Amino acid sequence: MTDDRPDPEEWRTYDQFAAGIDTYRLPNVDLAETSLDVTLSDGTRLALAFGHDSVEWTASGALTAAAPVRDPYDAVEVRDGVFFVSIPFASRERESLTIVHSTATHRVVAVHSVIGDEEVEGTPRVRQQFWSGTTEGVVSGQEPGPSRDLIGKRNVYRYSPEHLYEHVYVSSERYAWQCLEGVQRGHGDMDLSTVWKFDDGLYLFCFREFRIAVASVWLHDLGYQLMTTGVFLGLNGEGNSEHSRGGGHIYPLGSVSYPDAQPV
């Protein structure tokens, strides 16, 4: 039998494992000639006007941009009226913004990802900040926020014929992963993670790795569709910041429940 165990010293760089990880991603949508006015939970306000492949935006508060700024964007309609919008900043080095919003409930989740200037031992290089928010209109439904619903669940994610990963959600702060197929086969780790519930069956899942400078933002649809849509921000093998898309199919393997003491 061939021994296909990886060399533990050959840890793959972000750009190596991310290549092709968007093969089964849901298709992009064009938001040209639409706009979005967002108010976040800390009072930050965002005004976005979309073109075919770029968005002009201004912001106050945590994402201050008083003069209009133009950046590329990527959008996916993950369910009817629910949009996953990624803005991989070209105007700001080593930063990205992801906005999930519903045209039905007018609810919003926003994630700001930033690569730190230098490594700090024991701390992921990429940090993330989270907000709930609203868009203009009649707001309905529950406000998005941190969720424990995924704790104990075990899923497999198929992103391409060459990308198959397993996730185990172990607490409100960490998840475990291993690569079953792909350039990271046999590698795995326990990394920091954040889960927010956006709507019924829709969960924002974000991770921040310790070993390499990379973080991600995903929207898991654990309803009938069983699809996930995501983006990465990290440093590639040359040490330059890079944005990548991801997406694919979710295959639930099962779950466990804790009888007495609960994870954090």
Q: What are the tens digits of pLDDT across the range 93-124?
A: 899 999 999 999 999 999 999 999 888 888 99
pTM, 2 dp: 0.94
DSSP letter for 92, please. Answer: S
Separation between Cα atoms, residue 215 and residue 98, nearest integer Å? 12
- Domain ranges for the chain, please list them: 14-255
| Continuous segment of H or E residues that includes residue 16 | helix 14-18
Rounded to the nearest 5 degrees, what angle is found at the Cα of 92, between the Cα atoms of 87 and 98? 25
The pair of structure tokens assigned to 129 is 């900040």
The proportion of the chain whose per-residue pLDDT surpasses 90, expressed as a percent, equals 86
Half-sphere exposure of 209 (CA within 13 A, CB side): 20
**DSSP strand pairing (241-255 vs 74-79):** unpaired
The pair of structure tokens assigned to 151 is 């704790």
Average pLDDT, the chain: 94
- DSSP letters, 105-158, are T-EEEEEEEEE-SS-BTTB-SEEEEEEEEEESS---SPPPEE--TTTTEEEEEE
Strand partners, 13: none
Rounded to the nearest 5 degrees, what angle is found at the Cα of 93, between the Cα atoms of 91 and 99? 65
Half-sphere exposure of 30 (CA within 13 A, CB side): 5
pLDDT at residue number 168: 98
For 17, phi and psi rounded to 5 degrees?
-80, -25
Name residue 14's amino acid: Y
Asked if residue 1 has pLDDT above 50, the reply is: no
208, 188, 205: which is closest to 125 by C-alpha? 208
35, 28, 20, 24: which is closest to 78 by C-alpha? 28
Tokens 């021994």 sit on residue: 3
Name residue 211's amino acid: R
Q: What are the tens digits of pLDDT across the range 193-223?
A: 999 999 999 999 999 999 999 999 999 999 9
pLDDT at residue number 7: 60
pLDDT at residue number 65: 77
Q: What is the dihedral of CA 86, 92, 93, 98, to 10 degrees?
A: -20
Q: Taking a C-beta distance cutoff of 8 angstroms, is the pair 84, 219 a contact?
A: yes
For 260, phi and psi rounded to 5 degrees?
-135, -90
